[in-house]
Amino acid sequence: MRALGIFFATWLIAFPTWADEPATTDSRAEARRAYKAGVAASESGDLAEAARSFARADELAPNATALESALEAVLRTDDAALGMQLVERAEGRSEAAGLAAVPRARAAFAGRAGRVNVRCTEPCSVTVDGTPAPSRVFWLAVGGHRFRAEAASGGSARPGSEKVVEVRVGVANEVDLTVDPSAVAPAPAPGPAPTVAPLDPKTEASEQSVLSSPAIFFVGVGATAILGGIAAWSFTDVGSIHSDFEAGSAGYDGSPSARRQLDALASDGQGAAARSWILLGAAGATAVGTGLVGVFVTDWGDSSTPTIEASVGPLGGSIRTRF
């Protein structure tokens, strides 16, 4: 572990040049973030994550330092597939041919992983052992693996598009999968446009009949009469309190109790007067509102309109009023 710490400390000092330069592209900026994630993972002891992050950084922006960091990290893990993928990547680039970790990684992983080529008859997505495949050509550890293809648009794949393949070393591991084009789920048809139900004429007529009913008018008349009666009683009460006040003033003897009695009567009189004027104003407003309802809203109908009929019979004329 001490040697491992010295190794990653060395890579922290020899930080890739593109990681210190301002990012000129989205991939370069993403590569810088991936490399920093690899450094953080290695410092925490998660070498598998460090190897993946360093490999991702080199994939986004090829760099010998990032690639060798990935190789050194994967040598300390058991990920033969990633190790051979990195070896193949390094051997295909002239600037990485001299990396000391390449021959060590090949010796460690060459007999433990095989190269796989997946082909589909139609555009599809591929999973390997339930995990999305990284590409169409990649490395897998030797042994049996389950491959499955599904329509790229998300439709169901037909039976037969799933295979279990024994991955071997030194042979062409070709995996041919099929997807039935008819299995692709069609786009859902647009639903019918929402419609707004027209207002039922009977309902509308019913609402209008409630508002224009003469009963509303007569309720207003009753409310006006009640408020007017209460206002009249209140003014009568004001007059009674005033009479008591005048009588008390006439017999006032200057005593504190007489003074308190007169003050109480004065206060009661003021309160009663204010109450009376409020009641009178409410009665007046109700009367005005009732009158407006009766004139502009109430539907009195033909039979409710008083008419005067005149007729002349054999015994003379007569006048009759009809309601």
Task: Please give the model's pTM, rounded to 2 decimal places.
Answer: 0.47
Residue partners of 231: CB distance under 8 A and separation at least 6? 276, 279, 280, 282, 283
What's the pLDDT score for residue 323?
40
b/e map of 112-131 (b: 16 or more CB within 10 Å)? bbbbbebebebebbbebeee
What's the pLDDT score for residue 53?
94
Report the percentage of the chain scoring pLDDT > 90. 7
Of 248 and 153, the one with more pLDDT? 248
Per-residue pLDDT for 312 more than 50? no
Residue 316 in tokens: 């003379």
Residue corresponding to tokens 């020899």: 14
- Domain spans of the chain, in order of start: 1-110, 112-184, 208-297
Sequential DSSP letters for 184-219? SPPPPPPPPPP--PPPPHHHHHHHHHHHT-HHHHHH
What's the pLDDT score for residue 182?
59
Res. 315 pLDDT band, cuts 50 70 90: very low
What's the pLDDT score for residue 18?
54
Of 153 and 47, the one with more pLDDT? 47
Tens-place pLDDT, residues 204-247 = 555 555 667 788 878 888 888 998 899 898 889 888 888 887 88
Q: Evaluate the CA torsion angle 94, 95, 100, 106 in order and state its sign.
A: negative
Of 17 and 57, the one with more pLDDT? 57
Residue 245 in tokens: 């006040």
Per-residue pLDDT for 133 more than 50? yes
CA distance 105 to 63: 18
Per-residue pLDDT for 154 more than 70? no
CA distance 265 to 210: 48
Q: Which of 162-166, 184-188, 216-220, 261-265 has the lowest mean pLDDT?
A: 184-188
CATH of domain 112-184: 2.60.40
Res. 306 pLDDT band, cuts 50 70 90: very low
What's the pLDDT score for residue 95?
77
- Dihedrals φ, ψ of 161, to 5°? -85, 10
Of 13 and 204, the one with more pLDDT? 204
Reference 217, options 285, 288, 293; nearest CA is 293
Res. 200 pLDDT band, cuts 50 70 90: low
The one-character DSSP state at 155 is P
Where do the DSSP E strands lie in the chain? Answer: 113-120, 124-128, 131-132, 137-141, 143-151, 162-167, 173-177, 307-313, 316-322
Reference 92, options 53, 51, 137; nearest CA is 137
Of 220 and 180, the one with more pLDDT? 220
Res. 198 pLDDT band, cuts 50 70 90: low
Quick one: average pLDDT of 115-125?
80
Is residue 109 packed enough to be buried (19+ CB in 10 Å), middle (13-18) or exposed (0-12)? buried
